[in-house]
Amino acid sequence: MEQLTARQGEILGFIRAFIDRHGYPPTVREIGRHFRIQSSSVFDHLEALKRKGHLEKQGFKPRALRIRDDRGVEGPVTYSEEESVLVPIVGRVAAGLPILAEENIEERVPLPQRLVRHKNSFLLRVQGDSMTGSGILDGDHVIVRPQAWANHGDIVVVRMEDEATVKKLDMSRDKIFLVPTNPAYKPMPAKPNTLILGKVVGLIRGY
């Protein structure tokens, strides 16, 4: 097998130790947190480890990468068997800036190209439980196709002040309402400065 760089060796060792300790491998995010590097950098290192024969692809699902070395194939790290693209995770949305302005982006993470149909798609981490009726949980990441319009019943990301939030769009009344699908929350009338940033087209859990 091709020789590893010091950092690649550290990451491979961390994956092996994590599997030994927990019985399952770390995710990309867990590796990044341990080494204090962005998920996109972790992805680059995993690509190199795969190319050098130390990791084996097992499809796109959580904890689905296997280690290969002299001891044989070991335990299942999130990875993609398909072509991947880097997708930005949007945090706070600064007023007056485009949604994908660098000031709004927390990091970029790899996703299979089949999940990202629009080149300017982005991820938004869901905060709170207001959309549980749609199967969207606190901490999930929604995949968003950027667009400034939507239809009645669409689940959308809207900008309210300097925050981006996920809600269902209700256009059946005199006013437009942003509707949480958790019945514990009440619909909110859209304000004049409320902007539609995009439509939710997918969901990533446990990234």
Write down the pLDDT at residue 28.
Answer: 81
Residue 177, SS3 per DSSP? strand
Alpha-carbon distance of 53 to 51, in angstroms, equals 5
Residue from 120, 125, 121, 118 nearest 92 by CA: 125
Write down the pLDDT at residue 147.
Answer: 92
DSSP for residue 182? S
Which of the residues 84, 167, 168, 199 is marked catalytic?
Answer: 167
**Which residue ranges make up each domain of the chain?**
6-73, 84-204
Write down the pLDDT at residue 83.
Answer: 62
Write down the pLDDT at residue 171.
Answer: 92
Is residue 167 annotated as a catalytic residue, yes or no? yes
Flag residues of the chain having pLDDT under 50: 59-62, 69-82, 94-95
Homologous superfamily, domain 84-204 = Umud Fragment, subunit A (2.10.109.10)
Write down the pLDDT at residue 78.
Answer: 44
Which of the residues 41, 84, 121, 130 is marked catalytic?
Answer: 130
Write down the pLDDT at residue 72.
Answer: 39
Write down the pLDDT at residue 70.
Answer: 43
Is residue 57 annotated as a catalytic residue, yes or no? no
What topology does CATH give the domain 6-73? Arc Repressor Mutant, subunit A (1.10.10)
Tokens linked to 76? 């299942």
What end-to-end distance do the CA atoms of the chain give, in Å?
Answer: 30
Number of CB atoms found within 10 A of residue 178's CB: 21
For the whole prediction, is pTM greater than 0.85?
Answer: no
Residues 6+ apart with CB under 8 A from 137: 126, 129, 205
